Structure 1
Amino acid sequence: MNMGSSIQINKTGLFFLIFVVGLIIFFYHTSSSTSSARDEKISFEPPDGKVVSLKELLSAAIDAAVRGGNEVRQVRDAASLHELSKGETKEGANDPVTDGDYKSHIVMYYSLKKSFPSIKIVSEEHDSKIDPATIEPAERKLREIDDNISSDEIVYSKDITVWIDPLDATQEYTEDLRQYVTTMVGVAVKGVPVLGVVHSPFIPITYWGWVGHGLSANLKTIKKGSAAELVPSSSPRIIVSRSHKGTVAEVALQAFGDKTQVIHAGGAGYKILEVIQGRADAYVHTTAIKKWDLCAGHAILSAMGGTLTTLSPVSNIISYGDSTQFLNSNGLLATIRDHEYYLKKLQALRKP
């Protein structure tokens, strides 16, 4: 036996062994990463697999509002309103409806529903015996949005409620007071308004806001201007409804003094935009109002840093997460700033 002999290592065999071990390690890590990614995907997707891009929904909402506005304008220009009455409001005022309302509803509702079949949409109007086959889906990728917003949010469709007002300020529409008329789309996630579109078809101009993500160019300009510099006024400008007056003018004068300027205007969308643009200090409403009148403007106001609440001393939160039409409150207040000042003044009058 030669105890002093050396062991010769086969270099080819050693290379092969190292290669095999490397492959085992590689496939182990690859398998683990794939499994982890699959687990993350499963944990994100709801059981029905229905999720929605809010960025795409914003594009679709803008497209729907503009298309609805085109219908509203064409009916008004043709002077073929075919005005009817849906009855009386809770205050006893006439509640009119026209062909403009119905035609706008059809194109807005079905274009959104075709683009997002799984979302819940609540509209002011309803239709029967309508064949929506000719309605094209709403555009989900507008260049205006892609160029200005890089971020996105993906949410479960079950958490989304879309409120559309096919023709806000119908009473003023019948009187040919075109400046007050808008078409609106508001989007709430778990009851919170996050996307808003207000389109004025007779100007035409479109305002949109996405809370935490972006604003239309015209709102960006406003935010840098007078609305951001509003200061408390000794003669506040309070904008109120011209067709659903109630006692709001008297309430405003009592709350803020004889120097208060009361501005009467039509359409909740219009009035909220007047506050946003600094032409009114607060929007006050004391009679019944429906959520499709508010959701879009509420979202834009929030995106601008403003506030819209009820006047109830108990809870000021407005939820848009269900299909309950009426805002269950004793009034509302919308402001860009100094909200607590106006709220306390108004609440003081409503204490028992």
Structure 2
Amino acid sequence: MVVAQRQTFVKSVISEGGVLVLKQEKMSPSGVKVSPVGIGFFVFIVVVVFYLTFNHFGKNDVSISVQDNHVSMKALLIASIDVAIRGGKMVKEVKESADLGEESKGETKEGVNDPLTMGDKLSHQAMSTSFARGFPNVPLISEENDGKPFAMNLPPLPTTNSEVDKIVGSSDEVVQAEDITIWIDPLDATKEYTEDLLQYVTTMVCIAVKGQPIIGVIHKPFSNETYWAWFDHGTNVKEKKDVGNEGEHRIIVSRSHAGTVKETAQKAFGEDVVVVPAGGAGYKSLALYNGQASVYLHTTLIKKWDICAGNAILNTSGGKMTTLSGSRIDYSRSGDPKNDGGLLAALHNHEQYLQKLGYA
């Protein structure tokens, strides 16, 4: 059997915008005789291309979201770790440049300058753009958002992480995208960043589901340390118990927003209580694990992107973070991004600290 001459044939399969496209070109007039076997092979190739387009490249090049507007939480954790590190790289690169591009957002209620740097802006762009490309259906809230479009050359988000695989294993959860809110802080402790107190600087990602902090990532760009937790699945944050004296109360507070914490702590625990001033909410949350502090206390207004990641990590370890009245903090995107109810966080004895300090 002879098949009539065909004017086109498939030349190649290429990726345009993350989608596989069959490219065609005209044949020479001489024609080609194709057997039924050849036709069958062509159909097989088309089927394979269709499968790859909608089941592979859609997850890696365009979106890691699962079909039907659902999202893999494990994929989101792996992406969050990578995104926090991407932001940290931008923060570090700007710091190593000649000019931070420092501006001022104004003053806080306490009269402290609230700076903004190019590190904040570029970290925000890298982090928010990465999430927008990988998880386009998941809403994101960031400390920095100028509303301008981004055109950053960024690699696709990873789909594997050996440490996550080791700790979490093969377990996963699939959640509706509409129930998820991503909170990012592109540069926590900007004031300390401008003052070269780089140990306090972090980049943070938090994943909230129906207002509850479920995944938290805190990255320290200048020491290249990354801490993460996924509630009910695992964490790489370990508690160090051999720092400080047994029974000693160590309360970590803001360097610039301490309020009346020292007076309140001394009234509750006596003159020997240790009050540790530090910068950055991410740093202070981690201080509950490394022995620097037994309590993280904040009595003035604080934004939710500052505390969501630390809250998720504490929850995973059996700790607790609440307002000073003992209420849980709601991280729903429809709520107020400001937490004006104060903050008390502890890895152990949270309720006792609330009562002793007179807040419960």
Conservation of the 8 A alpha-carbon contact between 1:208 and 1:300: yes
Matches within 5 A, 1:144-293: 144-149=163-168, 150-216=170-236, 219=237, 222-223=238-239, 225-226=240-241, 233=247, 235-293=248-306
Within 2, Cα distance between the matches of 1:232 and 1:290?
A: 33
Contact 2:255 2:279 in 1 (8 A): yes
Match of 2:338 in 1: 326
CA distance in 2, matches of 1:105, 1:156: 25
- Distance, in Å, in 2 between the alignment partners of 1:131 and 1:341 is 47
Q: Distance in 2 between matches of 1:230 and 1:215?
A: 24
User: Superposed, which structure 2 residues align to 1:90-105 within 5 Å?
Assistant: 90-105=109-124
1:344 aligns with 2:359: no
Is contact 1:115-1:140 (8 Å) kept?
no
What secondary structure sits across from 2:71 in the alignment? Answer: strand
- The 3-state SS of whatever aligns with 1:259 is coil
Deviations 1:207-263 (A, max 9, x none): 0011110112xx2xx24x418x99972x41100000222222222222222111000
Q: SS of the residue aligned with 2:315?
A: helix
Deviations along 1:103-152, whole A, 9 cap, x unmatched? 00000011011111111110000134433352334323323323432211
Q: What does residue 79 of structure 2 align with?
A: 60
The answer to whether the 8 Å contact 2:244/2:292 transfers is no
SS in 1 for 2:338: coil
> Matches of 1:339 and 1:51 in 2, distance apart?
35
Q: How many residues align?
A: 292
Separation in structure 1 between the aligned mates of residue 322 and residue 150 of structure 2, nearest angstrom: 39
The residue that corresponds to 1:75 in the other structure is 94
Q: Distance in 1 between matches of 2:79 and 2:177?
A: 15
CA displacement 1:305-324 (0-9 Å, x = unmatched): 11111111xx5111101252
Secondary structure at the counterpart of residue 146 of structure 1 = helix
Question: Highest CA radius of gyration, 1 or 2?
Answer: 1
CA offsets 1:50-85 (integer angstroms, 9 cap, x no match)? 111110000000000001000001111114211100
3-state secondary structure, aligned to 2:288: helix
Identity across the alignment (%):
52
Partner of 2:6: none
One-letter amino acid of the counterpart of residue 215, structure 2: L
Q: For 1:106, which of 117, 122, 125 is the aligned residue? A: 125
Q: Distance in 1 between matches of 2:245 and 2:324?
A: 22
Contact 1:308 1:332 in 2 (8 A): yes
SS at match of 1:141: coil
Instruction: Tell me the distance in 1 between the aligned counterparts of 2:191 and 2:215.
Output: 26
User: SS of 2:163's equivalent?
Assistant: helix
For 1:203 and 1:79, how far apart are their aligned partners in 2? 21
Alignment correspondent of 2:106: 87
Task: Indicate the residue corresponding to 2:70 in structure 1.
Answer: 51
CA contact (8 A) 1:246 1:287 kept: yes
Structure 2 residue aligned with 1:300, among 298, 313, 316? 313
| Matched-pair contact (CA < 8 Å) for 2:201–2:220 | yes
List gaps (5 residues or longer) in structure 2.
Answer: 1-66
Q: Report the counterpart of residue 7 of structure 2 in structure 1.
A: none
Instruction: Indicate conservation of the 8 Å contact 1:112/1:137, yes or no.
Output: no
**Gaps spanning 5+ residues in structure 1: where?**
1-47
CA contact 2:287–2:293 (8 Å) conserved in 1: yes
Task: Name the CA distance, whole Å, in 2 between partners of 1:187 and 1:285.
Answer: 22
The 1-side partners of 2:338 and 2:108 are apart by 12
Question: In 2, distance between residues paired with 1:319 and 1:213?
Answer: 21
CA distance in 2, matches of 1:131, 1:78: 21
CA contact (8 A) 1:61 1:197 kept: yes
Residue by residue, what CA displacement relative to the aligned partner does 1:169-226 show, whole Å, maximum 9, x if unpaired? 000000000000000001111111110000000001100011110112xx2xx24x41
The separation in 1 between residues aligned to 2:155 and 2:90, in whole angstroms, is 14
Residue 18 of structure 1 corresponds to: none
